[in-house]
Amino acid sequence: MKPTTPRVAMVTGGARGIGAATARRLAEEGHAVAVLDLLEEQAIATAEEIRTAGGSALALGVDVADELAVEKATERVAQELGGPTILINNAGILRDNLLFKMSTEDWDQVLSVHLRGAFLMSRAVQKHMVDAGWGRIVNMSSTSALGNRGQANYSAAKAGIQGLTKTLATELGRFGITSNAVAPGFVQTDMTRTTAERVGMEFDEFVAAATAQIPVGRPGVPEDIAAAAAFFCSEEAGFTSGQVLYVAGGPAA
C-alpha cells in the first residue's frame, strides 16, 4: 500500500453506526475528520473518541437537507481543519411503510435527507476538491436500491444515489475527483434495529433470519462498510470511479 497523504474528510451521519465507523477508520488512516450529524451530542462523542485515540476531529450538528446549514458547515470545516477533499455522504433516515400507508411527508423526508442531502454536500465540497485537484466522494447506497418491500421511499432514494454517483464521476473526473458508492446489505446498526421493531420481531430473531440469507454466514458490521469506503478514499483508487460496490456478504446485483 502506498503511504496515505493526510486529507480533510467530512462524514455525514457520522455520529453512530456506519458513519461513526467510517469516521474512525479515516482518522486511523491519518485524515482529519469532520463528524456531521443532526444528533450533535452523539457527533461530539464520536469526535472526542477520535481525538482520544490521537486523531483530529471536529463535530458539527447539521441538517444535510438544509442548504444554508450545509454551506456554513463546509465553510467552518475549511476554516478549522482545511479544505475538505474527502466526502462520505452517509446521512439517512427510515420512514418505512407499505405504499398505500406511506404518507407524502414520509416520502419527502427520506428523499430529502438521503438524496437532496448528498447533492447539497457534494455541491458544497466539490469546490475545495477542484481547487486541490484531488477529491474522493463516497455515497452510501444500499441493497434496497434493488427494491425492498415497505421501503418505496428508501429504495428510490438509494437508487437515486447510484445515479448521482455515476453523474458526479462523469462531471468531476477531469478535476482529479472520483465518485463511488457503497451499497451495504444487512448490517447490525440502530437503523436495522428500528426495522426489526417495525416488522414486530425481536432483534436477535431478525438478525438470525437475515443471516440465514447471507452466503458468508454472518451479518455485516459497520466496520465492514467503513473498510470499503476507505478503499474508495485511498490514493490507489484514483482509477476507480462511478462504481457501486455491494458489500452484502454475497451477490446482491
Catalytic residues: 154
Alpha-carbon span 48 to 30, nearest angstrom: 16
Rounded to whole angstroms, the maximal C-alpha distance in the chain is 53
179 and 232 in contact (C-beta within 8 Å)?
no
Q: Residue 163: CB partners within 8 Å, gap ≥ 6?
A: none
- Closest by CA position to 77, among listed 115, 31, 39: 31
Q: How far, in Å, CA of 81 to CA of 55, rounded?
A: 12
- At 179, list the grid cell: 465518485
Mark residue 249 as left, alpha or beta (left: phi above 0; alpha: psi -120 to 50; beta: remaining).
Answer: left
DSSP class of 53: T
Distance from C-alpha of 110 to C-alpha of 93, rounded to nearest angstrom: 6
Count CB-CB contacts under 10 A for residue 5: 11
